[in-house]
Amino acid sequence: MPTSASASAPAPPSASQATARHHSELLSRLSSPDAQVQVKALRDLKNRIIGNRTKKLSFIKLGLVPAVADILASAADAGADRDSNLLIQSAAVVGSFACGFDAGVLAVLDAGVFPSLVRLLSHPDEKVVDSGARSLRMIYQSKLAPKYDFLEQKSMEFLLSLLNSENENVTGLGASIIMHSCETVEEQNALSQAGVLKKLIGLLEGSLNQRDASLESLATIIKNNVEAVSMFVGSESGRALSSVVALTKDRYPRTRLLASTCLIVIRNTSPCYLQDIGIKTKLVHLLLELHDDLGQVGDESSFALSSLIAEKEDMQKIALEANAIDKLYNHLKKAVLNSKRVEGILLAMADLCSKLESCRSKFFSLKALNLVIDALTHDSSSVRAAACICLRSIFRSIKSLCAGDFMDEIIMIPLVRLLHDRCTSVQLAALSAIGNIVVDFSKRRSIFIQCGGLQQLVQLSKSMDSDLTVNALGALRNLVFLADYTCKESIFGELTASLLASLVCDSEPSVQEQALALLRNLVDGCMDSIEFVFAEDGIILDAIGRQLQSAFKAEIGIQGMYVLCNVASGNEFHKEAVMDQLVPQVDNGTQSFVIQFLQSSDSQLRTAVVWTIVNLTFPSIPGAFGRVAKLRNAGIVSQMKNMVNDPCLEVKLRVRTALGQFMTFGDGST
Amino acid sequence: MDVKLQWEATSKRVITREEWERKLNDVKTRKEDMNKLVMNFLVTEGYVEAAEKFRMESGTEPDIDIATITDRMAVKKAVQCGNVEDAIEKVNDLNPEILDTNPQLFFHLQQQRLIELIRNGKVEEALEFAQEELAPRGEENQSFLEELEKTVALLAFEDVSNCPVGELLDISQRLKTASEVNAAILTSQSHEKDPKLPSLLKMLIWAQNQLDEKAAYPRINDLSTATLEDPAV
C-alpha cells in the first residue's frame, strides 16, 4: 500500500524566500575584496541561474546584475595580468542572465556590460575570449541588442575582424551581429562589397556550428536584394550555390532547414533561379518532413514553408500534391503543441488555401475547420491572430463560404469576441476574417448582427488606431455590400450620419477612402438607400463634396465620385444635390474639381466622373436640360469633347454616351 | 504466389567465396581512412587514453582537442555515479550555453538529481528540490510536468523496486541521462554526437539485406568477428 510521504514532511520554504536568503549572502560575497571569494560566488550564482528562468528573474529583481557588471568592468580594466577566472565567471553569469528572455537582456545592457564584453574579445587567454563571445551572442539573440551601422567603416572593420577569427565562438558572434544589424539594402550591399559574403561562403566549409551560422547570415545579406543574390549565385562559378543545395541533404535537421531557408530567399528575391520542378518539389517535401522534429526546427519549418508557397500558385499546387494539407492537419491534431508551432501551422494552412479551390476543398474534407475554430480561443494572441488569418484565406471563395455554412454560429461567436481582444493584431486579423465571411450572405449577416458584431465594428471604427478604423470600415463595407434595405437601415442607424461624415473628413487618407467606399456600397441599389446621405441636413454629402474639392489622392476621388454616381442615379432631388456638389452655386472663379478629375491620368477616376455625368443627364428626365447647361457653363462639356478618343476603352464609350445625351438638348457650344 | 517465390529462388545468382573474396580485394580502402574511423570512434565514445595511444602509434590526428574529452568524460562519469550536481557544475564550467539553451537536457539532469535524492531516502530534501527547481520547469512545459509527476510518484511507494515507475531508479536511467549530456557537449563542440562506425555497420546490414534478394553470397552474420559465411545453396 502506498504511504504518503508528504504528510509528515514540514512545508518547504517558498522559492522566493529561498532566493532572497541566498541573495543577501551572495551579494556580500560578490563584493568581497578577495578575488577567490568573488570567483566562487560568481560560480555559485552561475550554477543557480543556468536553465532556471524563475531564478534569473528574481535575482534581476533583487538587483544582482549591477554587482556582477561591476566585477566584470573592473576586472576588464585590470588588464591581462589579472586572474582570468574572474573574467570568465562574470562574463558567463552575465551571458546566462541574457539568455532566452528580453527582461534579462535589458537588465544586462542597463548595467553597461556591453563595452566590457567587447573588450574581452581581444584578451590573450582563449577561454576569456570564448566566454565574452558567448555572452555577446546571447545578447544578440534578442531584438534589444545594440545595432552596428555597417556603413561606418569602424563597424565594418570590427565585423571583419570577428569573421576572420580562428575562434568559433567569435565567428559565430560575427554572424549573429549580421543577422541582428543588417536591415537595409545599403547595408546588404556594403557587406557584400566589403567581402563579408565571400567570407561567409568560406565558412560553409567550416565546423558544424559555423556552417549553420553562415547559412543564417547569408540569408540575411541576400534577402530581397537582387544584386547580392546574383553575386552569391555567381560566386566561385556556382559552387557556393551548389554547396547550399548539398546542405539541404545534411544529416542535421537544423542545417537542412537553414539551407532550405537560404534557397527560398534566393528564389523569392530573384525568381529566375531555382525554377526546375525537381528542386521545388524537394524543398516542399523537405520542409514537410522537418515538421517531425520536436524542437525549434519543427516549429520554424512551417514558417519556412509559408515563405516558400505564399502568393505562388504553382508552389501551392506542388504542396497540395505532396499532401501538405493532410500532413499539417495531422500535426495540428496533436494535443501537446507549443503555441509557436500551432501559429506556424495555421499560417502555412492560410497560405496553402489562399488561392486554389482544390486546396480549400481538401481542407474542408479533413474537417480541419474545427481545429481552426478551436484556435480562435487559444491562450496565445499570435495563435488567435493566425487562426483568423487562416479563416480569411479559407473563406476567400463563395464555394467555401457555402461549405462552411453549417458552421455559422460556431465561427461567428468567437470571431466577434475577438473584435474586442486586448491585442490589436488579433483585432485586425479578426476584422479581415469577418470582412470575407460576412460578404454577400444574408443569413450569415443576420447571425453576425445577432452576435453583437455590428456594434463592435462601429466601436472599432471610432478607434484611435487608424489601422483598426480602416479595417473595421472595410468589414462594414463588405457587410453592406448588396445588403437589403432593412439590413442597411440597421447598420446606418448604428453608424449615424455624423460619425460617417466625420470619418469622411478624417485626417488619415486611408480612413477617408474606406469611409467613402462604405458609403458607396450603402447608397447602391434601391432609391430609399440613397436617402441615407441626406440625413441630418445632408452632412454626409457636404463632407464628400469638401473632400473631393481637396482630394489629392486618386483613390479618394474614385470612391467619392462613385458615391455621387450612385446618388445621381436617384430622383430629381438627388440629382440636383449632386449637381450642387459638382458645380458650386457661388462662382468665385475657381475651376470645378470635375475638370481636374477628367484630366487625371487615372482612368478609373475618369470613368467614375463620366458615369456620374451620364447619370445626371438622362434625356428623359425633365431637369436634365438645365443640368447640361450648367455643365456646359462650367466648361465640363467641352472638356469631355476632348475625350472622345480616350485611351481607356470604358472612358471612351461612356464619354460617347454622355455626348450623345448632350446632343439631344442641342449643342449650345456652336 | 508460390510460383513467384520459386522463380525468385531459382533466379538468384550464386557468388562463391573465391569470387567474393576477389571482389573484396578489388575494393581499395585507404588505411588512413580506416584509422580516422577508429579515431572518430575513440574520441566520440571518450576513450581518452586509447585515443592518445592510437594517435602516437598511427599518427592519426583526432578531430577534436583531446583535453576536452577528459572534461566530457568527467561529466559523463559523474552522472553515471549519481553525482548529478557535480556534473551540472562541470558542464556549466565547460560551456554555460549548453544547459541554458537546452531545456530538455537541463530538466532531465534535474530529474536525475531528484531521483538520486529519493534513492538516498532524503525525502524532505527531495520535496524541497522538486518544488523549487523542477515545478517551475513543469509550468513551462507540459511534458516536463508529466515526467515530474512520474518521478515524484516514487515517493509514494514503500517498496520502490516493485512499483510502476521503479525503472527510474534503474541504473539504465543514469546511463540514458549520461549519454544525453555527452551528446549535447559534443554538439556544442561542433562534433557529431554519434560515432561513424555504428552507422557504417547499419549500412552494411542494409546492403546485405538488399543483396539477399538478388544473390546468394558469403554473408557476414556475426558482426563482432566479421567472418564470411558460405552461401546456403
For residue B192, which residues of chain A lie inside 8 Å, CB to CB?
Answer: 208, 251
Q: Which domain holds residue B94?
A: 64-188
pLDDT at A131: 96
Is a pLDDT exceeding 80 seen at residue B61?
A: yes
Is a pLDDT exceeding 50 seen at residue A514?
A: yes
For every residue of A221-286, DSSP letters joined together read HHTT-HHHHHHHHHGGGGHHHHHHHHHTT-SSHHHHHHHHHHHHHHHHH-TTSS-SHHHHHHHHHH
Q: Does domain A16-146 have CATH number 1.25.10.10?
A: yes
pLDDT at A194: 95
Q: For residues A105-126, give the mean pLDDT.
A: 95
Is a pLDDT exceeding 50 seen at residue B225?
A: yes
CB contact under 8 Å between A3 and B158, yes or no, is yes
CB contact under 8 Å between A12 and B124, yes or no, is yes
For every residue of A18-60, DSSP letters joined together read HHHHHHHHHHHHHT-S-HHHHHHHHHHHHHHHTT-HHHHHHHH
First to last CA, chain B: 21
Both B100 and B173 in a single domain? Answer: yes
Is residue B164 included in any domain, yes or no? Answer: yes
Q: For residues B36-40, give the mean pLDDT.
A: 93
Is a pLDDT exceeding 90 seen at residue A178?
A: yes
CB contact under 8 Å between B88 and A138, yes or no, is no
Asked which of A9-18, A27-36, A531-540, B44-53 is least confident by mean pLDDT, the reply is A9-18
Both B80 and B174 in a single domain? Answer: yes
CB contact under 8 Å between A2 and B191, yes or no, is no
pLDDT tens string B70-97? 999 999 999 999 999 999 999 999 999 9
- Counting one residue from chain A and one from chain B, the pairs whose CB atoms sit within 8 A come to 80
**CA A596, A597, A598, A600 torsion-angle sign:** positive
CB contact under 8 Å between A2 and B158, yes or no, is yes
Most confident of A131-140, A619-628, B125-134: A131-140
Both B114 and B205 in a single domain? Answer: no
Interface of A with B in 41-100 (CB under 8 A): 43, 46-47, 50-54, 92, 95-96, 99-100
Is residue B165 included in any domain, yes or no? Answer: yes
pLDDT at A274: 86
- Please name which of A220, A282, A285, A286 lies closest in space to residue A253, comparing C-alpha atoms: A286
- Does residue A172 sit at the B interface (CB-CB below 8 Å)? no
- Does residue A13 sit at the B interface (CB-CB below 8 Å)? yes
Secondary structure in 3-state letters for B68-129: HHHHHHHHHHHHHCCCHHHHHHHHHHHCCHHHHCCHHHHHHHHHHHHHHHHHCCCHHHHHHH
CA distance linking residue B125 with residue A384, whole number of Å: 42
pLDDT at A347: 97
Q: For residues A60-68, give the mean pLDDT.
A: 93
Burial class (CB in 10 A: 0-12, 13-18, 19+), A36: exposed
User: φ, ψ for residue B219 (rounded to 5)?
Assistant: -95, 155
Is a pLDDT exceeding 70 seen at residue B119?
A: yes
Is a pLDDT exceeding 70 seen at residue B2?
A: no
CB B84 within 8 A of CB B112: yes
pLDDT at A3: 41
Is residue B163 included in any domain, yes or no? Answer: yes
CB A80 within 8 A of CB A34: no
Q: How confident is the model at residue B164 (pLDDT cuts 50, 70, 90)?
A: confident
For residue A212, which residues of chain B lie inside 8 Å, CB to CB?
Answer: none
Total residues belonging to chain A: 670
CA distance linking residue A542 with residue A570, whole number of Å: 17
Q: Where are the beta strands (DSSP E) in A124-198?
A: none
pLDDT at A145: 95
* Residue labelled with grid coordinates 573592473: A74
pLDDT at A86: 93
Is a pLDDT exceeding 70 seen at residue A607?
A: yes
pLDDT at A586: 53
User: 3-class DSSP state for residue A373?
Assistant: helix
User: 3-class DSSP state for residue B231?
Assistant: coil
For chain A, give the mean pLDDT. 89
Asked which of A5-14, A127-136, A227-236, A605-614 is least confident by mean pLDDT, the reply is A5-14
pLDDT at A4: 42
Both B78 and B159 in a single domain? Answer: yes
Asked which of A349-353, A491-495, B163-167 is least confident by mean pLDDT, the reply is B163-167
Diameter of chain A by CA atoms?
114
pLDDT at A249: 94
- Please name which of A359, A365, A442, A418 lies closest in space to residue A394, comparing C-alpha atoms: A359
Is a pLDDT exceeding 80 seen at residue A667?
A: no
Q: How confident is the model at residue A664 (pLDDT cuts 50, 70, 90)?
A: confident
Which DSSP symbol is given to A622? T
* Residue labelled with grid coordinates 440625413: A535
pLDDT at A400: 67
Question: If phi over 0 gives left and psi between -120 and 50 gives alpha, with beta otherwise, what is residue A178?
Answer: alpha
CB contact under 8 Å between A100 and B133, yes or no, is no
Domains identified in chain B, total number: 2
ipTM comes to 0.81
Both B182 and B93 in a single domain? Answer: yes
Dihedral of the CA atoms A69, A71, A75, A77 (nearest 10)? 60
What percentage of chain B has pLDDT greater than the value 90? 58
Choose among A5, A12, A54: nearest Cβ to B136: A54
User: φ, ψ for residue B215 (rounded to 5)?
Assistant: -150, 155
Asked which of A127-131, A257-261, A435-439, A453-457 is least confident by mean pLDDT, the reply is A435-439
Q: Which of B98, B114, B132, B193 to mutate to test the interface with A (most CBs of A within 10 A)?
A: B132
User: φ, ψ for residue B102 (rounded to 5)?
Assistant: -135, 75
Is a pLDDT exceeding 80 seen at residue A405?
A: no
What's the grid cell of residue B12?
Answer: 538468384
Q: How confident is the model at residue A552 (pLDDT cuts 50, 70, 90)?
A: confident
CB A175 within 8 A of CB A200: yes
For residue A47, which residues of chain B lie inside 8 Å, CB to CB?
Answer: 88-89, 92
Alpha-carbon distance B12 to nearest alpha carbon in chain A (angstroms): 34
Is residue B215 included in any domain, yes or no? Answer: yes
CB contact under 8 Å between B99 and A50, yes or no, is yes
Q: How confident is the model at residue A8 (pLDDT cuts 50, 70, 90)?
A: very low
What percentage of chain A has pLDDT greater than the value 70? 92
Asked which of A41-50, A358-367, A584-593, B182-191 is least confident by mean pLDDT, the reply is A584-593
For every residue of A71-110, DSSP letters joined together read HHHHHHHH-TTS-HHHHHHHHHHHHHHHSS-HHHHHHHHH
Is a pLDDT exceeding 50 seen at residue A196?
A: yes
CB A384 within 8 A of CB A342: no
Is a pLDDT exceeding 70 seen at residue A202?
A: yes
In chain A, which residue's Cα lies nearest the Cα of B142? A336
Both B179 and B221 in a single domain? Answer: no
Collect all residues with Cβ–Cβ distance below 8 Å to B30 and sequence separation of at least 6: none
Which DSSP symbol is given to A584? -
Alpha-carbon distance A427 to nearest alpha carbon in chain B (angstroms): 27
- From residue B97, alpha-carbon distances to A38, B86, B182, B190 in Å are 21, 17, 14, 13
Total residues belonging to chain B: 233
Both B111 and B178 in a single domain? Answer: yes
Both B181 and B77 in a single domain? Answer: yes
pLDDT at A437: 80
Residue type, A440: D
CB A658 within 8 A of CB A640: yes
CB B130 within 8 A of CB B114: yes
pLDDT at A238: 87
β-pairing verdict for B219-220 and B228-229: antiparallel
Alpha-carbon distance B163 to nearest alpha carbon in chain A (angstroms): 9
Residue ranges of the domains in chain A?
Answer: 16-146
Q: Which of B63, B89, B97 to mutate to test the interface with A (most CBs of A within 10 A)?
A: B97
In this predicted model, which residue has the larger pLDDT, A518 or A443? A518
CB A457 within 8 A of CB A475: yes
Q: For residues A365-379, give the mean pLDDT.
A: 91
Is a pLDDT exceeding 90 seen at residue A334?
A: no
Is a pLDDT exceeding 90 seen at residue A447?
A: no
CB contact under 8 Å between B190 and A209, yes or no, is yes
Both B205 and B182 in a single domain? Answer: no
Both B146 and B213 in a single domain? Answer: no
For residue A99, which residues of chain B lie inside 8 Å, CB to CB?
Answer: 97, 100-101
In this predicted model, which residue has the larger pLDDT, A550 or B116? B116
β-pairing verdict for B13-14 and B215-216: parallel
For chain B, give the mean pLDDT. 88
Is residue B206 included in any domain, yes or no? Answer: yes
- Please name which of B149, B51, B96 lies closest in space to residue A95, comparing C-alpha atoms: B96
* Residue labelled with grid coordinates 587567454: A125
Is a pLDDT exceeding 50 seen at residue A11?
A: no
Give, for A210, the enclosing helix (H) or strand (E): helix A208-222
Is a pLDDT exceeding 90 seen at residue B193?
A: no
Both B100 and B129 in a single domain? Answer: yes
Q: For residues A121-129, give the mean pLDDT.
A: 93
pLDDT at A23: 77
pLDDT at A120: 94
pLDDT tens string A282-306? 999 999 999 999 888 999 999 999 9
Interface of A with B in 535-574 (CB under 8 A): none
For residue B95, which residues of chain A lie inside 8 Å, CB to CB?
Answer: 134
Neighbours of B137 (CB within 10 A): 22
CA distance linking residue A470 with residue B128, whole number of Å: 55
* Residue labelled with grid coordinates 447598420: A491
